[in-house]
Structure 1
Amino acid sequence: MMNRKPLSRNPLSFALATAVLFAASAPVFAQDSSDQASEGTKSKATNLDTVTVTGSRISKDTFNSVSPVQVVTREESLLAGFNSTTDALQSTAVTAGSSQINNAYGGYVTDGGPGANTLGLRGLGPTRTLILLNGRRVAPAGSRGAVGSADLNVLPNSIVDRIEILKDGASSIYGSDAVAGVINIITKTKVDGVSFEAQHNATDGGGGDQRRYSIMFGATGERSHFSGSYEYYTRNELTLNDRSWTRCATDKYRDIDVADHWGSGDFIDPLTGQSKCYTLDSGGVTINTIGTNTRTGVAAPGGVGTRFNRWRPNAAVTTGLVGYEGVDTFTRDTFDKDMLNQSLISPAKTHTLFFQGGVDIGVLGDAELYYEFLGNKRKSTQTGYRQLSLDYGVGNPLIPANLRDSVAGAPTNLTNGANLGVRAFIGFGNDQSKQNVDYYRFNAGLRGNLGSEWKYDFNVMHSDNDADYTFQSFLTSRLAQSLNVVANGAGGYSCVDPSNGCIAAPGLNSNTIGGNLPADWKNWVFVPVTGNTQYKEDTVNFNVNGPLFDMPYGTAAGAFGVEYRKAKIDDSPSQYSVDGDLFNLTSAAPTRGSDSVFEAYGELELPLLSGVTGAEELTVNLSGRYTDYKSYGSDETYKIGTLWTPVKWLSFRASYGTSYRAPALYEQFLGGTTGFLANTADPCNEYGEREPSSLRYQNCASLGLDPEFQATQGVTVITQGGAETGLKAETSTAKTLGVVLQPEFGAGFGDLSFAVDYFDIKVENGVQDAGGAGILTNCYNSSTADFSAGNGLCRLVERNPLNNALTVTNGFINVSTDKVRGLDFTLRYVRDIGPGEFRTTTQFTHYIEQTNKVFQDDPEVNYSGQLRFPKNTASFDMSYKWKNWQTRYGVEWIDKMESYTYYEEDPATSQYKLYTPNYFLQSFSVQYEADKWSVTGGVRNLADKEPPTISQGVYNTVGNALLYSGFDYFGRTYFMNVTYAF
């Protein structure tokens, strides 16, 4: 299962998929709204005010763009049933199936901490996608040391007018992070009066309900305007117990010698005769069990043999190990009903305040003094489950007499210097993590005219993230102190060291093993652990734009500007974490650092031809940016784009550009976090079994190690930021080629438009946490390994001369390469039918390549089509609007996925289920709009489609479902939205 090679291509019926597209869909251009788009894409919208399209800083009187820009309007999000901007942005229609960090990842270590929601386009990750609000950066938010991306939770909802998605590299326009694309959330500017809005999304199966209440307000005067919104959003917890498909996760293995169906190879619970729930999960937890030296005893029901080192209490056993029955892999307990209390979707509450406004001051070029404020408060929690491995040392009086002769291993950090006697595997129960995140962003500026045609804009912005994060943990020092006891003369035991209020650990008995633990002891050894994360960012920007000079077929325009940004991170973990006192959890040092950048940029748009035969329009756009970072020095990026319209109904567009991403602050300054690998991870362990001519053999021999060397120490891995190792920015190139068709068929046929865009993005020198095992393998297999000089990756490896223990510094380094290539298809058709208007839109993405490799010598692996990397995705919706009514029907499709090729498995004989079938989500809604109020209601996941299942132990799963944001975990959901305006 571990031999990996690139997937061989197995294209789908591409012609069929394309034919489906032509049946009902639409290209998405840079557009203001769907109504304006149908006119604005036919000819120049000269009746429109000048606008700035995402992907350009030049104001113009047309919405056409050299780069493809997808637009999602507020109305479309509402009809689709999304209850937040976050949900709309993480939908398949925007992400094209690439996996996102959402509310199902609460139990995992993710950048931004639990509860954060992020967005990454093209599968290149959230740090390579730039999020803007009204054209200005949304600074990172979240908790813990790895805050480096915008948290979608901070965004407003009801006042959003539209979302523009540029799926093209744009660092020359916007600076760092715009590698895979740009998301620009644009708010409504013309708001007069007050309106209320309420929306409730209720799941059919219970749990996970969402409610949002908002008020939007504004006023426009002769010389000033003001608008804003306040919103309260709450999401209830959805637990594993709330869904049938998560209540009993099984192996889902197949034994084709027994039966050719999934589950025939599962561990069978001897008590039920069915596949065992929550089985070992690739060597995971066991509970209600003790570990001892190997001894003779009675097997548990369904077990075999007479010699065991794992036991379960059973008072009926009177021979062998009295009071205990021996358990093996098949019979030991791995399930506790409290496991079903874990969060499937974590709960959250947010308060969001947004306001914007401006006043004409009548001087400095008829300037407007404008301002914008965004404030957000998030409270989120996650429920988990904890196992406790409690080590009793040899001779500990808390061990019953018939187990005191057990010597199960060497001393541990709980046995106070004694050898390990008995280890109790205890199902401790549920634990909880919580986050309180306060975020605000304020910017103000002055914009006006420079002469009659040029405009200027000066802006100052400050963003601030302040988060407290709390989780529960056992303290190693307190556990050890509580196990160091003596008899107190009253039939009980007391701590040898009673300082700090020590409470003696419970004796080893069936209650302790079963998780029935004294409350006072639990409260002393299991405590809340709180840290604080602060992230601040300041930006000063000045730019001008306007016409430059006349050309034979139009006027050249330009935009020029300078920008200064400074960011600072300060993550202070609990002192318990810094001291390494969190039992079975990694230690973490503070993450503190800052960086600043000065940039100068320029953009030109040149109308080469217009209104001539063979060129209704030929425009070239050029942009460039000079960047000077304090951390790594200077860099330049550029982009060239062109739009050619030979005839009115046909346009070609193309662009080529370079982008870069400056290392995030956590990638530079992450405090050292300690983890461990097994002793067998030492590359020199028994290296004499290798060929003497091999690089591994020669490199180990150069250290003076005996060929029969056996590693007895685990490998310490310290993960930290890469500032000290000379971390640089990663660079990338992006190409796009597009064709837009807008045929005019005459009255009665309707408006049909079609676009196809080819994209090709390559990231080089990518910033990557290489991993301890990867560093060791590549160091010891290198022909240039020089441990004394510390060159290459070997500079990150240190071997203790006394005991030969290895320590690996797993810093972020510039090593990885990422490539993504594919095609975006968009088809739209609009026609008047009967008394109303019919509109249908389809978006389809085909990934040709999604390749990643960490080290230069690694084989390139094309992940396209594998689990979590669908080769094809599409969204389709059609609506009909007449008078005050509108209906919508939508479908989201994710292509089937499989990983058999990757693992070199034959799907006909493999015991593992490593595929998911085609996945469809349907939705339906109805809307009625009156003069001052509207009601929208509908259903998401109309067919109550459950996520497809796979075998456990290969990929992260929820139950047996693949952990993947493209699948719906809520089930059928009813929604209703009501608005009322005064």
Structure 2
Amino acid sequence: MKNFKPLSRNPLSFALASALAIAAAAPAVAQETDDDAAQAEQAEQQTSSSSAPTELQAITVTGSRIARDVFNSVSPVQVITREETTMAGFDSTTSALQSNTVTAGSSQINNAYGGYVTNGGPGANTLSLRGLGATRTLILLNGRRVAPAGSRGSVGSTDLNVLPSAMVDRVEILKDGASSIYGSDAVAGVVNLITRKNIDGVEFEAYHNATDGGGGDSRSYSIVFGKTGERSHFSGSYEYYNRNNLTIGDRDWAGGCPTTLWRDIEVGDYWGSGDYLDPMTGKPKCWHLDAGGVTINTLGTAAMEGTPGPGTSGSAFNRWRPNSAVTTGFAGFEGVSLDSRDSFDPAMLNESLISPATTHTVFFQGGVDIGAMGNAEIYYEALGNRRESSQTSYRQLSLDYAVNSPLLGDLSWLPAFMFPTETSNDEFVAARAFIGFGNTHNEQSVDFWRATAGVRGALSPEWNYDFMLSKSRSDADYTMESFLTDRIAQSMNVVSDGAGGFRCVDQSNGCVAAPMLSSQTIGGILPQQWKDFVLVPVTGNTLYEEDTVNFNVNGPLFDLPHGTVSGAFGVEYRRAEIDDTPSIHSINSNLYNLTSSAPTRGKDSVWEAYGEVELPLLSGIRGAEELTLNASARYTDYQSYGSDTTWKIGGLWTPVNWVSLRASYGTSYRAPALFEQFLGGTSGFLASSNDPCNDYGQRDPNSPRYINCASEGLAPDHQATQSVRVITQGGAETGLVAETSDALTVGVVLQPEFPTAFGDLSIAVDYFDIEVENGVARAGTSYILSQCYNGVDFANDTGFCRMVSRDPANNALTVLDGYVNLSTDKVRGLEFTSRYVRDIGPGEFRATVQLTKFLEQSSKTFPEDPLVDYNGMLQRPEMTGLLDLSYKVRNWRARYGLEWVDGMDSYAYYQENYPTLDFDPATSMYKIYTPNYFLSSTSVQYTGDKWSITAGVRNLFDKEPPKISQGVYNTVGNALLYSGYDYFGRNYFVNVTKSF
């Protein structure tokens, strides 16, 4: 079974943060203001290069609810403009947000994870800042929350697919904890998307991207329109986006021949020299199915004497491959081992590397001045989105033929070797056919809408108010093709039909008898009628709703000698509800070799009160051009877990005009997501192939897994005959509470005052330190089993092993995997940004350098465990960077961009934690490091009177993702599964806009 794969967390977890981008080294960018013209002017001033002082109108900065007229903000904010996104060649806001520029190498859930079990379901795209997870990053649209969307029971984060890319003017990214300002989820940071304002007329935009290697092409078409009058304004957009399927077979590095990529140190320092040579081809063996974890074209029986196949030694076997030339022993079959058995089917190349998707997005916004209630404006927003996505997978089918079954045919003499299974009709199993079934398909359709309305005006000449109502709804249908356990069992329970064939004993549901055991059956040549009977589409539905009511006021409180103390205060009520109803077959554990899913139903609500004050302590004196203190606090009362209080204090000190120092410290929290509280208690099953002790005798006798499996009294050739039972449930019944965190940020902004001829230089350096306590986590079944059987805690029944038990009667495994408050995550690092602007010749040259260096990326699952620092390991780079060079002359602009991901190395971790194995990089058979990774892109833009065209190339030098050995981390072929690497290859893009 390879339909949905669990994400290994060893030791990938959540990667880290992003480089701080400065617009003139100043992150004070408009969030929303009553004067749209002033807002647009302010944004332009921040991306221009003027060394002269500028009078800036007060605006609201992301991360604060108080308007201020200072160029710098207390907290670092990165700004990404629409033009930057277009010049970089991104096909959507989703792609721009998930780029290394924003995430600093954090591993993001994107369309390469379509075959894995992820929050939000297949096809969802989420954003994780600081590597702390998507549920700890808050997404806003015009300063207001964007509710979660997606499919399946684990919906808890904003799906970036719903964002109205055509209307996004810029994105402001606050890389600081801000729960005291925005409430729950703003632990790692806040992403605020600002839509375009003051639109008069109509604009068409078309984008097309074509890959050099074929597959994965994308295109989008949009129309933006609007009208601004004296007392009202209205604007809207419609966007169509489509991305084609990119299959594993479309890229040689992914589908050519993934091998174990082991090396033989005696041969030399050549990766792959230690790979097993397939005796059928004489070349390194391809492992397309989980690095050899399962097999196809193979028959399992009781151990017996027989003829060994090519590359197989010994005389007794329990795995066989059809071979009509064999006439002795087990006639018609040759014995095979783990290495020599079949594991490749050409249909595997059809699996989705990047899953296809189509979205339709509509957005409307507007307002009307009513001339009453303090010269108030009634405003509104409406967002609608439909996503249709799909994935192609490959399935193995295990058919169990019971003792004495008529379907055994000439093999009716085979003795029992397994306990009765769900499909053997309560009879012991004589033969198991491991069949390469072929491709199956999954589909999702997600309808999301969000409606917002409010009124804002003046309480007095200086105090303003804003009252807002918002409602969101995500309605998703998710369909997958699955074998039904009862239908397989029904089709295996047959009698003779009197005409040389068979008929089902129970002929309900239009039952079709299973095929007789034969070489053709084992080889995957199956009757279409039977396939149509046992493999059916099963559909579930996920409904997620969220309501928000907010009222806030802001204005001056009182005067101090150096300025006016300002304040902002408000109250908010939010209510959310989830209702996920899987297919009845999933609820009844009727999906063959897949886990069951019980309904997830629950709701939660919260009342909050918050306040923020800003005190100008000093201004315009020697040693203190500005000294400002900002403080905020929020009281929260959740229905689910009770009350909590968060706070934050920060300050900005500008001793001289060209130097600013800023610092903030505060607490944040994250209320448990609905799925973490109410995930339906599920007793599911994973295939018996997930037992870590299967064929453990073929491993190093000194390895922890060998020792641990042997200590249970299992035979070295142990083969699990029972599925792995998995018990999962939400944490509401066990007292799940909110996560808490502390965040410290300290930074300096330098803007040296050079002569005009030298140009403008801006530099910012920020230190960040975030620690999350009481983290809500579910380790995952595969991870629990791996950590238990590969660890040193086995004998003591501690750590992960306390979540695993084995039934001594039948050796069946049971794993407990629920959401609990147990983990700790900590990240520390430095972000550096330098921007240089100078007039050269007839045009303007601009250079930006962004670097993020992580000092620590630590986590632990259990409170008594030590913090393990994963900094610099695979999927958690220590450093990432961006170089952006552009030159604008008249109507032309040219750009070159270079993205860098530092080399990553996991040897030290495995040497320390697995001392009995050889993980010395000089001698180890495993390749678990990647070199420095550079990705170049270039583009050129021409802007006419009412039109523009941008064309360019991403991944200019067709850089392939680095390869590693299989079996340690999740891989695509031999490439590390990691969103920081490009899977498309060289691709060409063109963007055309036309205004009327």
TM-score when scaled to structure 2? 0.90
- Matched residue of 1:520: which SS? helix
Within 5 A, what are the aligned runs for 1:231-310? Answer: 231-247=239-255, 248-278=257-287, 281-310=290-319
- Matched residue of 2:907: which SS? coil
- Matched residue of 1:334: which SS? coil
What CA deviation, in whole Å up to 9, does each residue of 1:836-868 have, x standing for no partner?
111111110000000000111212110110000
* 2:340 aligned with 1:331: yes
Q: What residue is the counterpart of 1:959 in the other structure?
A: 973
In the aligned structure 1, how far is the partner of 2:903 from the partner of 2:242?
34
CA contact (8 A) 1:25 1:827 kept: no
What CA deviation, in whole Å up to 9, does each residue of 1:562-595 have, x standing for no partner?
0000000000000000000110000110000000
In the aligned structure 1, how far is the partner of 2:197 from the partner of 2:10?
53
What CA deviation, in whole Å up to 9, does each residue of 1:498-555 have, x standing for no partner?
1221110001112211111111110110110100000000000000011111110111
Specify which of 452, 467, 486 is matched with residue 458 of structure 1.
467
Specify which of 121, 126, 130 is matched with residue 138 of structure 2.
130
In the aligned structure 1, how far is the partner of 2:801 from the partner of 2:294?
35
CA contact (8 A) 1:25 1:876 kept: no
Specify which of 66, 71, 88 is matched with residue 58 of structure 1.
66
In the aligned structure 2, how far is the partner of 1:186 from the partner of 1:855?
40
Q: What residue is the counterpart of 1:816 in the other structure?
A: 823
Specify which of 863, 866, 870 is matched with residue 859 of structure 1.
866
* 2:28 aligned with 1:30: yes
Specify which of 721, 725, 732 is matched with residue 734 of structure 2.
725
In the aligned structure 1, how far is the partner of 2:138 from the partner of 2:127?
9
* 2:177 aligned with 1:169: yes
Q: What residue is the counterpart of 1:970 in the other structure?
A: 984
How far is the alpha carbon of 1:810 from its aligned partner?
Answer: 2.7
Q: What residue is the counterpart of 1:186 in the other structure?
A: 194
Q: What residue is the counterpart of 1:217 in the other structure?
A: 225
Q: What residue is the counterpart of 2:536 in the other structure?
A: 527
Question: Cα–Cα, structure 1 residues 850 and 477, in superposed 2: closer, same or farther, change >3 Å?
Answer: same
Question: Cα–Cα, structure 1 residues 794 and 515, in superposed 2: closer, same or farther, change >3 Å?
Answer: closer
In the aligned structure 1, how far is the partner of 2:333 from the partner of 2:183?
66
Question: Cα–Cα, structure 1 residues 784 and 211, in superposed 2: closer, same or farther, change >3 Å?
Answer: closer
Specify which of 88, 92, 100 is matched with residue 80 of structure 1.
88
In the aligned structure 1, how far is the partner of 2:148 from the partner of 2:10?
36
Q: What residue is the counterpart of 1:930 in the other structure?
A: 944
Question: Cα–Cα, structure 1 residues 25 and 360, in superposed 2: closer, same or farther, change >3 Å?
Answer: closer
In the aligned structure 2, how far is the partner of 1:104 from the partner of 1:539?
33
Q: What residue is the counterpart of 1:833 in the other structure?
A: 840
- Matched residue of 1:949: which SS? coil
Between Structure 1 and Structure 2, how many residues are aligned? Answer: 936
Unaligned runs of 5+ in 1: 8-17, 683-696, 701-710, 787-791
What CA deviation, in whole Å up to 9, does each residue of 1:479-515 have, x standing for no partner?
0110011111101001111122111000111221111
What CA deviation, in whole Å up to 9, does each residue of 1:287-344 have, x standing for no partner?
1111112222222233333322211122222232222222222321100000000000
Specify which of 349, 353, 361 is matched with residue 344 of structure 1.
353
How far is the alpha carbon of 1:418 from its aligned partner?
Answer: 1.6
How far is the alpha carbon of 1:43 from its aligned partner?
Answer: 7.7
* 2:87 aligned with 1:89: no
In the aligned structure 1, how far is the partner of 2:343 from the partner of 2:96?
38
Q: What residue is the counterpart of 1:845 in the other structure?
A: 852
What CA deviation, in whole Å up to 9, does each residue of 1:678-711 have, x standing for no partner?
89899xxxxxxxxxxxxxx9xx9xxxxxxxxxx9
How far is the alpha carbon of 1:36 from its aligned partner?
Answer: 1.0
How far is the alpha carbon of 1:273 from its aligned partner?
Answer: 1.3
CA contact (8 A) 2:25 2:751 kept: no
* 2:866 aligned with 1:873: no
* 2:959 aligned with 1:949: no
CA contact (8 A) 1:892 1:922 kept: yes
CA contact (8 A) 1:26 1:843 kept: no
Q: What residue is the counterpart of 1:405 in the other structure?
A: 414
Unaligned runs of 5+ in 2: 1-8, 13-18, 31-41, 694-707, 712-719, 912-918
Specify which of 234, 238, 244 is matched with residue 226 of structure 1.
234
Within 5 A, what are the aligned runs for 1:745-824? Answer: 745-770=754-779, 809-824=816-831
CA contact (8 A) 2:837 2:845 kept: yes
CA contact (8 A) 1:66 1:653 kept: yes
How far is the alpha carbon of 1:73 from its aligned partner?
Answer: 0.2
In the aligned structure 2, how far is the partner of 1:781 from the partner of 1:198?
58
How far is the alpha carbon of 1:403 from its aligned partner?
Answer: 5.1
* 2:76 aligned with 1:68: yes
What CA deviation, in whole Å up to 9, does each residue of 1:752-779 have, x standing for no partner?
010000000000011111456869979x
Specify which of 883, 887, 890 is matched with residue 883 of structure 1.
890
Specify which of 127, 142, 148 is matched with residue 156 of structure 2.
148
AA of the residue aligned to 1:155: L
In the aligned structure 2, how far is the partner of 1:42 from the partner of 1:861?
46
Question: Cα–Cα, structure 1 residues 41 and 590, in superposed 2: closer, same or farther, change >3 Å?
Answer: farther
How far is the alpha carbon of 1:207 from its aligned partner?
Answer: 0.4
* 2:679 aligned with 1:658: no
Within 5 A, what are the aligned runs for 1:469-868? Answer: 469-675=478-684, 716-770=725-779, 809-868=816-875
Specify which of 178, 200, 207 is matched with residue 208 of structure 2.
200
CA contact (8 A) 1:540 1:565 kept: yes
Q: What residue is the counterpart of 1:691 in the other structure?
A: none
- Matched residue of 1:269: which SS? coil
- Matched residue of 2:331: which SS? coil
In the aligned structure 1, how far is the partner of 2:808 from the partner of 2:735?
27
> Percent same amino acid at aligned positions?
67
CA contact (8 A) 2:443 2:478 kept: yes
Specify which of 46, 51, 55 is matched with residue 55 of structure 2.
46
In the aligned structure 2, how far is the partner of 1:44 from the partner of 1:364?
37
How far is the alpha carbon of 1:359 from its aligned partner?
Answer: 0.3
How far is the alpha carbon of 1:712 from its aligned partner?
Answer: 11
How far is the alpha carbon of 1:876 from its aligned partner?
Answer: 1.1
AA of the residue aligned to 1:721: G
Question: Cα–Cα, structure 1 residues 430 and 6, in superposed 2: closer, same or farther, change >3 Å?
Answer: closer
CA contact (8 A) 1:6 1:902 kept: no
Q: Which moved more, 1:803-812 or 1:559-568?
A: 803-812
Question: Cα–Cα, structure 1 residues 296 and 809, in superposed 2: closer, same or farther, change >3 Å?
Answer: closer
How far is the alpha carbon of 1:607 from its aligned partner?
Answer: 0.5
Question: Cα–Cα, structure 1 residues 714 and 585, in superposed 2: closer, same or farther, change >3 Å?
Answer: closer
How far is the alpha carbon of 1:173 from its aligned partner?
Answer: 0.2
What CA deviation, in whole Å up to 9, does each residue of 1:780-826 have, x standing for no partner?
9899999xxxxx99998999999998866432111111000000001
In the aligned structure 1, how far is the partner of 2:288 from the partner of 2:449?
45
In the aligned structure 1, how far is the partner of 2:843 from the partner of 2:640?
59
Q: CA RMSD in A?
A: 3.0
How far is the alpha carbon of 1:428 from its aligned partner?
Answer: 0.2
Q: What residue is the counterpart of 1:909 in the other structure?
A: 923
Q: Which moved more, 1:470-479 or 1:34-43?
A: 34-43
Q: What residue is the counterpart of 2:703 in the other structure?
A: none
Question: Cα–Cα, structure 1 residues 378 and 5, in superposed 2: closer, same or farther, change >3 Å?
Answer: closer
In the aligned structure 2, how far is the partner of 1:634 from the partner of 1:643?
31
AA of the residue aligned to 1:530: T
* 2:364 aligned with 1:355: yes
AA of the residue aligned to 2:974: N
